[in-house]
Chain A
Amino acid sequence: RALLLLGPQRPWQRLPRHLCSSSSSSCGAADSPPAGRRCRHRLVPDAPTWRNVADSELPPPTAIDSDTIALLERLSLVQFDTADTVRVVAEAVRFADELRLVHAGPEVEPMTSLPEAWGWRCPLRADTPAEQPRTAVLSNAAETEEHYFVAPPGNIAAKDSGRERLDRLAEGAKSKASRSSRS
């Protein structure tokens, strides 16, 4: 489990200018760092650091049982068809568990968008409508009917499972393909 380093750039050339701490004027177009002067943010280490995370440090692995599979299938509309898929999901969850070891401290607010970190406020638009040509929006749709988009039926019976619905979707797609190939 290793983070990939960037190419053979000089460390100080990778950072935006304004993140250089103190005396940023010294970070000019020079190819080599000024003698004895750090040109990086104080939290960026001088040399790359690796730390292998032992399995025992992580919280207990999340069990992926059949109920969870059914829930994930329904939420993501992705079909878990083989046991290998389940193994891959379990490994991905384990990989993400490492994030629980990161402690940024309670005073650090999570950043949700980059513009927010730059101090941007939500841009606002005047309430002026503009005409929208119908052809552009409908042009990607494989099937339309009297300018409506055509979609699979929305009302699913309560007893229906995600797998049955996916099967029907696949059948519908196959029959539609065969219909369009015949016509």
Chain B
Amino acid sequence: MSGLKRLWQGVIGLEVHAQISSASKLFSASPTAFNMPVNTQVSLFDAAIPGTLPVLNQRCVELTLKTALALNCRINDVSAFDRKHYFYADMPAGYQITQHFRPLANHGRLEFYWQPDDNDPTSIAESVADIVQLQLEQDSGRSLHDSERQLSLIDLNRAGVALMELITGPTLTCGAEAAGFVRELVDLLRCLGACTGSLAEGALRVDANVSCRPAPPAAGDSGLGVRTEIKNINSLAALARAIDFEVARQAAVLDAGEEVINETRALADDATGRSVSMRDKERVQDYRFMPEPNLPPLFPSDLLPAASVDLPPPDQLPPGLRRRLRQELGFSYQHLASSVVAARPLADWRYLDAAVTAAKLSRPVTSPHLGRWFVHCFLGNCFRLLGESAAAEDSGISVESFGAFLSLAVDCAMISEEVGERLLERMFAQPSMDPLAEVQRLNWFLTRNPTEVASRFSQFFHRQDIASKNLDQLVKYGKFKLRGNSKKASVIEERFLALFMEAAEYTVDRTVAAKVVADILQSGVAPPPS
């Protein structure tokens, strides 16, 4: 963040609440379907009618254990439930059943990639987040506030739905890193079938705990500053902006010599990340945690076999898959972060792998364009022509053909990007085609020789239609050159370059052509005789 005195460093921890994809609620048999009529999915227990007791949903525990295994957590031998007391109309019992003292799992880790520099799409960084705690808890109902009539309308359909709470350690440093973490977590939860991961629908809720400390930290001082909590975050972009805004705000407060107040803030403006204080420090909240007496302890090891039966191995889960795509195939952040990576079947990546071998590209692949060719162009054509559920192999293009294409197109080895896109479209139309033969037949090879390019440009330049249409441009160019106005002159040069490239069907190298155009225009300032 430019303009900020690099005196303070953000310290961010996240609390993520993920709604578990089970058919019934955590402690009762009410359905959990989305958007059902008001109060039609509320059992007597959910409404806290006396004489009812909680009974734990086995599927919820299995899905949480599956997530804990995928996050490399240490699963506790014994886990228990606790009551967290506070009064709010959408929580009829007056307490929420959660796991405060003995959660299901602790000490996990999630590796993820993120983009440190918004303006540079090739920038990429790798981080590891600590998952301090992973626990089960109940969700509360929904309330609609009517301030005119001074009342709230309460819908308990969501009350009692199972939530998985993940608490990360304070190791994140900025908004982009936090967004990268949540993106990877969402892909992982979707892959495991534990949660739909939709921030917009409220299936995944993220709260950020933000504080500042001196950067670099003073010797011997490992303490953390006063933190604030930001709530009401509905999207990844809003999360990043809210965190950066709060870090900047706290840095300004600390620079002014004042102290940061420990408070809860609500995100008020998604576009700027501005948050406002919800409560002040006088309102201390005491949740009076106590063990839930109606639930004996849970022994997670009893359910581990059921939880791990369909758990993919680590290198097939989204974090591991992304690591291989990055390290072996050189994918840039833009294509790594795409949700396409986690959503495609593994067969697609095996197809790509085999094609890279067939293309005899050296490994690890260093070109950042492989991601673009496969994710953007190849899969894009697949979606468009064959539908989203089609696999890469359904295109009919063999691994050898695609490999031949890659050896032509990657890094503009033999054909330009525009030609490559057109060639790929032709290959989808006629899957059995040999790309090399086609390029030879249409003479689409890239010309890099300056003399050849120059002669082609002269031919183009002296075409009747070009000369007549652009006479005024040439006159202006002459004037600009005489006056020494190089910026406007280069605009005209680019215009001619664009026309030339289009006429040549993009079979000339762009940098060579740009130089040729500039040279010829500068040398022949006077327009040709018409």
Give residues in A with beta carbon < 8 Å to B: 71, 74-75, 77, 112-113, 115-116, 120-132, 134, 136-138, 140, 145-155, 158, 172
Contacts and interface: CB of A to CB of B under 8 A. Distances in A.
Contacts of A122: 56, 295-299
A129 B284 contact: no
A112 B292 CA distance: 7
A137 B23 contact: no
For the complex of A and B, list the 8 residue pairs with the smallest distance between their C-beta atoms, beginning with the closest. Answer: A127-B59, A151-B89, A112-B291, A148-B153, A129-B31, A149-B154, A124-B58, A130-B29
Contact of B47 (A137, A148, A152): A137
Contacts of A131: 31
Given A127-B60, A134-B42, A149-B39, A113 B154 contact: no
A149 B42 CA distance: 12
A75 B151 contact: no
A127 B23 contact: yes
B280 interface: yes
A77 B87 contact: yes
Contact of A132 (B42, B55, B89): B42
A112 to B, nearest CB: 4
B41 A132 contact: yes
A164 B30 CA distance: 38
B5 interface: no
Range class of the B interface residue count = 35 or more
Given A126-B58, A148-B153, A149-B89, 4 more contacts: A125-B55, A129-B23, A137-B44, A147-B39
Main secondary structure of the interface of B (DSSP, over half): loop
A41 B143 CA distance: 53
Interface in B29-61: 29-32, 37-44, 46-47, 49, 55-61
A152 B291 contact: no
18 contacts: A71-B286, A116-B297, A122-B56, A122-B296, A124-B56, A125-B56, A129-B23, A130-B24, A130-B29, A137-B46, A140-B49, A146-B38, A149-B155, A151-B89, A152-B152, A153-B150, A153-B152, A158-B280
B511 interface: no
A121 B297 contact: yes
B376 to A, nearest CB: 40
B147 A134 contact: no
Nearest to B79: A122
A154 B40 contact: no
Nearest to B157: A132
Given A112-B293, A134-B42, A153 B151 contact: yes
B298 A130 contact: no
B456 interface: no
B294 interface: yes
B408 to A, nearest CB: 52
Nearest to A124: B58
A147 B153 CA distance: 9
A128 B60 CA distance: 12
Nearest to B29: A130
